[in-house]
Amino acid sequence: MEILSQNRSHGGVQGVYSHASQETGTEMTFSVFVPPHETGAKLPVLWYLSGLTCTHANVTEKGEYRAACAGHGIVFVAPDTSPRGDDVPDAEGEYDFGKGAGFYVDATEEPWAKTYRMRSYIERELPDLIAAEFPVDMQRQAITGHSMGGHGALTIGLRNPNRFRSISAFSPIVAPSRVAWGEKALGRYLGDNRDSWREYDAVALIEDGARHDHILVDQGTADDFLEDQLKTGALAMACAKAGMEPVIRMQEGYDHSYYFISTFLGEHVAWHGERLRG
């Protein structure tokens, strides 16, 4: 692991790091905020997955989470959204596919299969690195994310309910199998067999039996993508049919931007903190 930068913030350290990933075959960059803590302490971890076109830097620079993480003693980890590099295949002129749009899947179709392995990177490789290099208690993990990253947080959390004590999301793509962004990404990364898409679709996972008792979703009512791409109501319906009781908050007048995320991210940190104690 290489240290790219470290800055003092709220009594802790905000760092940006890189390492050579075996899963993606590329150099991967991520950020970690470690709050102030006693020597030898092991702290809970909150993962943040970013959305389309983003890197680790968006939330690191705009998220306004550090004060809350310092107050609740939570390590905040923000990975990238896709592999990067000159040898990584891309879709020129398509913001919603390729670099910056990994959708947190392990691709099976060429030319994407070799490097687009963000599921394995987030679920296995990066956690192992974080556990080895930072003062974390991997028995206390939670996950959140925005938009495509909200999709990632929901699907990864639902597939691993014993690992993540709580799941939250901002403006998540809840049913990618049913919307243009998701159909494009899942079809090209995974192929035409739509059954293989279901493990990357939060609504489908719930329909197929996945359960979690602690889910929080914030969605802005002024979000231009709400009706066509995000479809928050589909998640509410799936949870109701499954007997799940998520907290889904429709935030009046908020859009899809980091102005929205930064307004409520501190509340999400506190909500996760309640579930990560002990």
Q: Give the closest residue to 47 by CA, choosing from 178, 176, 136, 117.
A: 136
Catalytic residue among 56, 146, 151, 256: 256
Known catalytic membership, residue 256: yes
Q: What backbone phi and psi angles, to 5 degrees, belong to 277?
A: -70, 150
Q: Which residues of 172-187 are buried (b: 16+ CB within 10 A; e: fewer)?
A: bbbbbbebebbebbbe
Of 147, 166, 168, 171, the catalytic one is 147
Report strand pairing: 164-170 vs 136-145. parallel
31-to-55, 176, 182, 214 alpha-carbon distances in Å: 10, 27, 26, 25
Phi, then psi, of 150 in degrees rounded to 5: -65, -40
Residue type, 227: E
**8 A C-beta contact, residue 14 and residue 66:** yes
Residue type, 192: D
**Residue 212 · residue 161 · CB < 8 Å:** yes
Q: Active site residue: 151, 223, 268, 272, which one?
A: 223
Residues 6+ apart with CB under 8 A from 61: none
Tokens of 263: 């307004």
> In degrees rounded to 5, what are phi and psi of residue 8?
-70, 135
Q: Which residues are catalytic?
A: 147, 223, 256
